[in-house]
A = this chain, B = another copy of it.
Amino acid sequence: MEKTRIRVRKYAKLKAPIMIVGLPGIGSVGKMVAEHLIKELNAERIATLYSPHFPYQVIMLRHGGIRLMSNRFYVIRRSGRKEDIVILTGDTQAITPEGQYEVNHEIVRFFKEKLGGKFIYTLGGYSAPGSNPSNPKVYANATSAAVVAGLKDSGLVFGESRGTILGSAGMILGFAKMEHVDGICLMGESSFLDVDPYAAKAVLVFLSGRLGLNIDTKNLDKMIQKTAEALKELERQAPAEFPMPGKGDDKPPSYIR
């Protein structure tokens, strides 16, 4: 395998879909939210992305199977709403700079050209100096001034995050802008925990409201806490998070989890 490839199980005819991207990163914020949504909303897998820029190893499954590392596209069909939802999650991000450019551009092209996608939410964490983990803000950066203006009263914090967004959460947004698809990166204020359910909850609450998702808010704290424990357990068993490739990491003035 020399190029990133996406295997489609079946081509879903989707209504003007938006995509939620939650891939591994420090804090596991995006992945935790994506996996929570997939489970809660019974999302259906429609495609799998493989790449030679992923780690060169296979994952051992519980009952004696194996699988290649992958990113996976899920779908939630919605009645009574004008947009369906695509969720992207997976085992890893690309582990080289060139791989990040290839894989993330491929994801945007697939979403736009094959699924007819209209808007992208990428999820991550943001570490602000003196942040308060128990009541985290959601920082945001978007592809256009129009998106920022349209979310003026949403409670999102625009224009206070500084520096760069590393990896898929940033690059997918950059390629969305290049391909004229609007999008936004939602960053839960995070306090350097390996797994940060507080930041994940803040992002999930915003997304649920924004998309009219019927998720029981009362149970959220318990669920996220359980997810957090499960992820910690998983971490001992499987490589839930991969280190990002080297350059530019040395002294980041702030960073995405």
User: Does A178 make an interface contact (CB < 8 A)?
Assistant: yes
Given contacts A52-B101, A166-B56, contact A63 B185 (CB under 8 A): no
Contact B142 A66 (CB under 8 A): yes
| Among B58, B60, B178, contact of A162 (Cβ-Cβ < 8 Å) | B60
Question: Which residues between 41 and 91 of chain A lie within 8 Å of chain B, taking CB atoms?
Answer: 50, 52-68
Contact B1 A60 (CB under 8 A): no
| Among B50, B52, B177, B236, contact of A97 (Cβ-Cβ < 8 Å) | B52
Alpha-carbon separation in the docked complex, A96 to B239 (Å): 19
Question: Shortest Cβ distance from A7 into chain B, in angstroms?
Answer: 8
Contact A53 B242 (CB under 8 A): no
Contact A165 B60 (CB under 8 A): yes
Q: How many residues of A contact B (CB 8 A)?
A: 68
Taking CB atoms, residues of chain B closer than 8 Å to A1 are: 101-102, 105, 175
Alpha-carbon separation in the docked complex, A39 to B237 (Å): 38
Given contacts A1-B101, A97-B95, A239-B164, contact A245 B64 (CB under 8 A): no
**Of A143-151, A191-199, A214-222, the one with at least 4 CB within 8 A of chain B:** A143-151
User: Does A163 make an interface contact (CB < 8 A)?
Assistant: yes
User: Does A113 make an interface contact (CB < 8 A)?
Assistant: no
Interface centre among A1, A94, A162 (most CB of B within 10 A): A1
Contact A148 B178 (CB under 8 A): no
Contact B102 A52 (CB under 8 A): yes
User: Does A227 make an interface contact (CB < 8 A)?
Assistant: no
Taking CB atoms, residues of chain B closer than 8 Å to A175 are: 1, 68
What are 12 A-B interface contacts by the 8 Å CB criterion?
A1-B101, A57-B248, A60-B161, A60-B164, A63-B148, A66-B174, A66-B177, A66-B185, A68-B171, A68-B178, A95-B248, A239-B248
